A and B are shown apart, each in its own frame.
Chain A
């Protein structure tokens, strides 16, 4: 174990060091365990549990068995959420599927734009998770653990690789809502740095008020006076440092300079004025509306500015009832911007080194809930991946004939994390921090790189 490996966890000692974990592990300069395929991640997190059965995983057998009892061989002894004690009846897909692209991959007819770029995507149909309620399932998907206080994947990425953004945080979180009214809460824990210093935590941009908390000057104070103030503070800190010789003062001076740069750069970041109308239209983004579409465009702008990990939450996929209508709303909201983002990245030559991931905390049951909805489901669901190091135009893994369990090449949450880190040039076994006697890592005690989806 190298010195810096421990250094971040000394409690009160300085955490404002400049080197990242990997840089220190491997000596000076940008350091990786192996060559990286992706420099950054854009995670389009679909919160609430999108139904693989309406979106990505066609199941004619389930349609044929619609209304019949779900065979007990599937469900016996398995976890169940709101359907506890209820009859378990097969519920056929509520939207038709269609083949797209040269690869002929079959996905929902509700997703024509994503279908249009299907040959750039890898569709994983065999995710599974362990947690059946939203909050713990989000926590597992983000931190690899159900215990609060573990770092989120974005924090790990920034901890390991640092950031190239000069005037923005390395890990940015955006949240959007849509129509439907089934938006489950999302805790700040999901982008927390956990036991890592808070400089690695995700910074959530607000859709109301200041985009970054306290980014605006106090009312009545113009930019010039703010600048004078920061300069005076810096001058005073330098005087203080001369008399005290405390190296932590130097770090604080740097943080004030960074804060002031953020104050200057965030308004420009948020201003879509320079984007051509054609781009706004491609995404379906209306500046300032806080929609998923606008956030997708903002994600590209953040990526251009060197942000390492960009996570978009789109809420409201929790379709316990009226799933046909609900999935309709959601696909209207996400189909076009998801495709536009990937196309836009590709056109700018950025898709090669950007890993794009699309998916939620779990899937939904093949059984109906209340006759028109689906319950939470953990044994099998789907994810889309694209970009840096991902094999395009492929399908990986499969669920059984009724879409219940991942049976072919199952991919666990830890496998997903291991693969993500692998593409970023990190060996998930080696990015660890000491905490309560353990070498804690994002992938817990398991996780294998999913080689079958690598280009």
Chain B
């Protein structure tokens, strides 16, 4: 719109001469290059218009371009022709405007000078400053810049841009100098969180694998690496090297290896029946798209099947880039469960954890355990049985107890037996799997079964299980450790075996009445037992075998882990438990490991089944130069080239993205395409000025500081009629821009205003509440959603579990990308579903409640409360008219609410409540706080 309406107007009025890059290349690229450009396969009439010597070469009918002579230039004749001679032809569905035809004609008349594409030209220092370049173009356009924004508006803008959170009323009132605030914000962890959020879009970071079952994979330590890097202001060249090739750096540190998770963030599939070769091709192509888009601003992905249609990238360049990644060790089918799940990984213990693990390992020296032969289970008939929280236990045949009826998140099953005379040595619990049970076919709800504790009227001492097929974060002894946060159970699915827990009595049980309680207090929802039986044994050593088994199934598998159970060594059992739980909770991250590179061939038309293409070696796109390496070039060579002065693209790409973050639109609008279909920058000298400076030290904070200290950044965003008329899209920066904040910030602002926000840098992802059934279309496994409890549920949006195929609805509705693919330019829409989220999502209703409680306690009058609400959420005072509207709402709410409905409204969420005597007042104030949190101004950066 701008390019077509505004720019030509400006060009014609501002520039006497036509510029190829600014005026002509966009027209040729969009309308001619498809058939007369770099791609040989679709070239018509053997004619190229992207090269001057070909375009001006005489042909049978004349020369396509005769410099200085439009009349005799075939291209001018053809664009003015009618009927079948018209170019572009009707079938192309491209029509040249009158202005475009004039520009082409003028350009030919002026000598048809070509220029190399701007983004591929070497980056040279351009003296000047942001304001000098911008003011020059404003003067040329005869636009008067807006005055400086008022301080509250400016501070809100700065805080939101740099940290993703608005200032508090106190911060707003402070007299701290602007430049000092900039430095303080840039040094804050919140700055790192904001930058990380944007970076994660680009590198398509998510917490799940994206194909098929879309199961969770260990990625968050990479997110924390990015956080630490931005916080420490790691130079962008080092940041680049570490992510692309940290594993190849000399004496690579754990941090540098963590960075290489970048290449492992591709979507992966564990669907049975995939053709591994096909998926290896998909994974590699994704890496080429990501790296070329994020670092080169290039749509190299378009050259997977053919030479690029608009830019000088050849299909060979795509595969030569792909060859850089051919050393990454991976499989086509990436298992999403079991011991081989997710391929190569790095364990990340803290030094203290590492020390403790070593100590425990020393205590747990391997111990040879004799092969177990005994079990002797006698199945017991329950005399009485019940379940708490509404669930119902029913006795079926074979003494099986089946849970049914209401399906609460947590439940305790109590079973009383009348045992025959003993002495009994062991009690056992056998969980039977059943296809109708969704959770690992054993639990009633969630994707796993967790018995957090087993207690009995007779003390129990040791436990062992046959569930070696499960992962080790649910060890048997965790059922006896008195900790509700740990438990025994099963967390994988599809294993048909019965899971058995054998529990030894501290002292032999003489028989008679025995009451057993199975506690299901897990944070995972409905991780409750579906079908189970109890048995007793008199054997001195009763192994955990299914009750009908002829032989203990695990006899041959007895290892050190069961040694304590065998020997009765309680200390060892406890050490083993600590070791198992510690190991299971150590952070892990998928990483890149280098191996013998696979042979890379050009795939004709991208067809992975076609092995006839030529073998290619790793190389950068040919037109950008050649790497001088001895032998095969590596990912590290690629990284070094990317951050070398020889590469004209990366600094421009990064600066352009950063500009967009602070001004709403890039200096060149198409952030992921600086090629010929991208946009000629509005201020090319400014872009190069900033990029050349950035390339000198790759200092990101310095770049941002420079921009936010400019006058242009600090201008008011209020447009004058003149600006709206002359520059509606604000591409000349006579004013600042207004735009809606990102999805994460929509959440964070509400949490911050309410006082609920929990701030902590890094750590595992969290799961805010989301509607039941939202994941119902997922499978393998079927899953329930277990929301995070306690303060962690109020962490920033950055930390929300990123489920690629079903992103949290509040984030998705506000345009957060699924991160299935690299995204550097989030869309921003304005939809009714957004209104429903802000009005009705319990997370936002809870925020309104906590906000109301805060207003209620911190201000005494209604006017004072509204003023506090506006200052907190909008960073401005409320007007008298606004207070009156809210006073009306407050009165309506008080009339409408009863003590009962008020109490119900206030019940939302876990945050503490005020005394019930204030319920109606606080609930009415909730509606006021909610109205404020729904305002356009709250989610708008101005």
Contacts and interface: CB of A to CB of B under 8 A. Distances in A.
Contacts of A208: 772-773, 776
B907 interface: yes
Contact of A181 (B435, B719, B773): B435
Contact of A1 (B4, B774, B806, B842): B4
A98 interface: no
A13 to B, nearest CB: 7
Contacts of A10: 1, 665, 669, 729
B827 interface: yes
B889 interface: yes
A259 B835 contact: yes
Given A208-B772, A229-B930, A436-B302, A239 B885 contact: yes
Contact of A244 (B718, B818, B835, B837): B718
> By CB atoms of chain B within 10 A, which of A147, A175, A230, A259 has the most?
A259
Given A12-B740, A185-B779, A436-B299, A225 B893 contact: yes
A196 to B, nearest CB: 8
A220 B927 CA distance: 11
Interface string A206-227: 1111101111111111101110
A225 B907 contact: no
Interface stretch (B255-263, B359-367, B672-680): B672-680
A430 interface: yes
B302 A217 contact: no
A3 B833 contact: no
B881 interface: yes
Interface stretch (B209-217, B222-230, B629-637, B793-801): B209-217
Contact of A222 (B214, B275, B806, B901): B901
B720 to A, nearest CB: 10
A206 B774 CA distance: 7
A249 B813 CA distance: 18
B269 A437 contact: no
B93 A81 contact: no
Contacts of A187: 210, 214, 777, 804-806
Nearest to A196: B827
A131 B888 CA distance: 59
B836 A214 contact: yes
A248 interface: yes
Contact of B835 (A1, A169, A197, A256): A256
Interface in A247-303: 248-249, 251-252, 255-256, 258-260, 262-263
Say whether chain A's binding surface is mostly helix, strand, loop, or mixed: loop
B106 to A, nearest CB: 21
Contact of A220 (B675, B813, B904): B904
A206 B772 CA distance: 9
A260 B678 CA distance: 40
A189 B830 contact: no
Contacts of A232: 885-886, 888-889, 931
A203 B845 CA distance: 22
B740 A1 contact: no
B773 A206 contact: yes
B830 A221 contact: no
A209 B772 contact: yes
Contacts of B729: 10, 13
A183 B897 CA distance: 45
Interface in A1-56: 1, 3-4, 6-7, 10-16
A219 B830 contact: no
Interface string B34-60: 000000000000000000000000000
A10 to B, nearest CB: 7
A176 to B, nearest CB: 10
B896 interface: yes
Given A213-B809, A221-B905, A148 B818 contact: yes
A77 interface: yes
Given A175-B776, A189-B805, A213-B771, A12 B665 contact: yes
B826 interface: yes
Contacts of A236: 882, 885-886, 931-932, 935
B677 A198 contact: no
Contacts of B885: 232, 235-236, 239
Contact of A188 (B211, B812, B892, B932): B812
Contacts of B210: 148, 187
Interface residues of A, number: 100
A263 B840 CA distance: 11
Interface string B524-560: 0000000000000000000000000000000000000
B613 to A, nearest CB: 16
A296 B776 CA distance: 19
A11 B669 contact: yes
Contact of B807 (A188, A199, A249, A252): A188
Interface of B is mostly: loop
Interface stretch (A64-72, A132-140, A347-355, A382-390): A132-140
B430 interface: no
A394 interface: no
A212 B834 CA distance: 12
Contacts of B232: none
B829 A1 contact: no
Nearest to A436: B299
Interface in B925-940: 927, 930-932, 934-937, 940
Interface string A301-312: 000000000000
Nearest to A375: B273
Contacts of B882: 236, 239
A228 interface: yes
B836 A212 contact: yes
B836 A206 contact: no
A15 B828 contact: yes
A240 interface: yes
Contacts of A216: 840
B665 A185 contact: no
B609 interface: yes
B299 A437 contact: yes
A79 interface: yes
Contacts of B672: 436
Given A198-B815, A232-B886, A248-B830, A185 B212 contact: yes
Given A84-B275, A219-B907, A436-B299, A188 B902 contact: no
B879 interface: yes
B904 A219 contact: yes
Contacts of A239: 879, 881-882, 885
B777 A195 contact: no
Contacts of A207: 773, 776
A12 B664 contact: yes
B780 interface: yes
A336 interface: no
Contact of B936 (A15, A246, A313, A438): A246
Nearest to A221: B905
Given A220-B906, A228-B889, A437-B670, A209 B827 contact: no
Contacts of A376: 273
A340 to B, nearest CB: 24
A432 B93 CA distance: 10
- Residue with the highest number of chain B CB atoms closer than 10 Å, among A13, A149, A220, A252: A220
A183 B812 contact: no
A184 interface: yes
A1 B669 contact: no
B339 to A, nearest CB: 23
Given A214-B839, A232-B885, 13 more contacts: A1-B94, A10-B729, A132-B275, A135-B269, A185-B778, A186-B777, A197-B815, A221-B905, A225-B892, A229-B930, A258-B832, A315-B777, A432-B93
23 contacts: A1-B30, A3-B5, A11-B828, A12-B826, A13-B729, A13-B828, A81-B273, A148-B820, A148-B821, A149-B817, A206-B773, A214-B833, A215-B836, A218-B905, A219-B907, A220-B906, A229-B839, A232-B931, A236-B931, A252-B830, A375-B273, A437-B299, A437-B673
Which 4 residue pairs across A and B have the least CB separation, nearest first? A437-B677, A208-B773, A220-B905, A220-B904
